[in-house]
Amino acid sequence: MQAQPKLIDAFGRTVNYLRLSVTDRCDFRCIYCMSEEMTFMPRAQILTLEEIYQIAKAFSELGVTKLRVTGGEPLIRRNILELMNKLGGLQGVDELLMTTNGSHLDQMAQGLQQAHVKRLNISLDTLNPERFKRLTRTGDLQQVLRGIMAAKEQGFERIKLNAVILKNRNHDEVVDLVRYAVEHGFDISFIEEMPLGQVSEHSRAEAYYPSYQIREDLERHFSLSSVSDKTGGPSNYFKVDGSVSRVGFISPHSENFCSQCNRVRLTAEGRLLLCLGNEHSVDLKKIVRSHPGDRELLKQAIVEAMKIKPEKHEFNLQEKPVIFRHMSVTGG
Ligand code: SAM
Ligand code: SF4
């Protein structure tokens, strides 16, 4: 059998993971992700589902084995389940994952399961309805909890909750969130807020609540043991003793994880973004629109793009943001 080609960057890192943002739109306006008034991209600028599929196929032929579909809110993209089905059938892709805010999961969890989605990440920053409204601006906690339970019933291989922790907003809930995860057999990751896009609602430096502080808070209530298997992701995992749950920490500020980076991102408008914290990118939409069906050209551009993948992100909480795109455009 012919060996699969590999994507290797200038620092010797193999890229085998693609995150696809299928829309920049969302039904929520989380305070760390968006401003209250957002201008979304005109639809014509957004990749069609077929274009997304063609790009994902090219990546799979270049050795990418893991695809995560995200956004914006991926479940509000029309015909998303059709795309998921097609992505699930790509040769070489053995992990198809999604990150969602959970608001549409009560109707769509079954469709995702049938499309061979293995694992789901669901964002949940608080278990308090008023806080949930304040943090998401438009979200309804009960709706999301119903969605999470619908997903649990479908028996996905793994469900992971993602919680962005902000000082004086939800930092006092980390223990309750872990209890909820343990009760349902979910994993949970705590994420330090990243300075992506301008948000006026709060000062990011003042809202910073470091992962090591969360860990200290948790260790007063749980016994956590380090999990050695690093999956190439930015999370540092700990097992909650006496349960099946793991707690992860995504700590872009307190621990730099770039040397392990195995991923690139496709933005909703078709930019191949080589690092979340830098603007180095290649316009793949231009290629798929000017040479439709020419996958060799697309693959060539992807291989070339690896040369400009930066060594590390440049996040700095004290200065004005250097990255003006919001997480919703990038696909978190
Ligand atoms: N809408 C989906 C959701 O919320 O899960 C998927 C897209 S969202 C951009 C993906 C993840 O990014 C979420 O877990 C969210 O909490 C996280 N996120 C958004 N803005 C962030 C920021 N400024 N810093 C850190 N994480 C952020
Ligand atoms: Fe929407 Fe997800 Fe961003 Fe919240 S974090 S505004 S749910 S894209």
How confident is the model at residue 330, as a pLDDT?
A: 60
Ligand 1 mean position, distance from CA 290 (Å):
32
The closest ligand to the CA of 125 turns out to be: 1
> Other C-beta atoms within 10 Å of 15: how many?
23
**Tokens 């989380």 belong to which residue?**
30
Query: H or E stretch including 111?
Result: helix 105-114
Amino acid 286: pLDDT: 97
263-266 and 271-273: which strand pairing?
A: antiparallel
Locate the ligand 2 atom nearest the alpha carbon of residue 29 and give its number: 6
Question: Which ligand has the nearest atom to the CA of 192?
Answer: 1
First to last CA, the chain: 35
Distances (CA, A) of 105 to 80, 86, 146, 190, 236: 13, 20, 8, 21, 27
Which residues lie closer than 8 Å to 308 by C-beta, 6 or more apart? 10, 274, 280, 282
Centre of ligand 2 from the C-alpha of residue 300, in Å: 33
Minimum CA distance residue for ligand 1 atom 19: 33
Burial class (CB in 10 A: 0-12, 13-18, 19+), 14: middle
- All domains of the chain in start order, with CATH: 7-330 (3.20.20.70)
Tell me the C-alpha distance between 107 and 100, whole Å. Answer: 13
* Cα four-point dihedral sign 58, 291, 40, 88: negative
Share of the chain above pLDDT 70, in %: 88
Among protein residues, the one with the nearest Cα to ligand 2's atom 4 is: 30
Ligand 1 atom at minimal distance to the Cα of residue 199: 23
Cβ(100)–Cβ(73) under 8 Å? Answer: yes
Q: Which residues line ligand 1 (CB under 6 A)?
A: 26, 32-33, 70-71, 73, 99-101, 123, 162, 164, 191, 193-194, 196, 327-328, 332
Q: Would you state the pLDDT for residue 318?
A: 53
At residue 61, what is the residue type? E
pTM: 0.92
CA of 331 to the centre of ligand 2 (A): 9
- For residue 113, with 0-12 CB atoms within 10 Å meaning exposed, 13-18 middle and 19 or more buried, which class applies? middle
Pocket of ligand 2 (CB under 6 A): 26, 28-30, 33-34, 71-73, 101, 123, 327-328
Ligand nearest to the CA of 29: 2
**Half-sphere exposure for 122 (CA within 13 Å, toward CB):** 28
Give the start-end residues of each E strand in 7-94: 7-8, 14-15, 17-21, 66-70
Residue pLDDT tens, the chain, 332 long: 455 668 999 999 999 999 999 999 999 999 999 988 889 999 999 999 999 999 999 999 999 999 999 999 999 999 999 999 999 999 999 999 999 999 999 999 999 999 999 999 999 999 999 999 999 999 999 999 999 999 999 999 999 999 999 999 999 999 999 999 999 999 999 999 887 766 777 788 788 999 999 999 999 999 999 987 555 566 689 999 999 999 999 887 766 678 888 999 999 999 999 988 777 899 999 999 999 999 999 999 999 999 999 888 765 655 555 555 566 666 66
Quick one: pLDDT at residue 260? 83
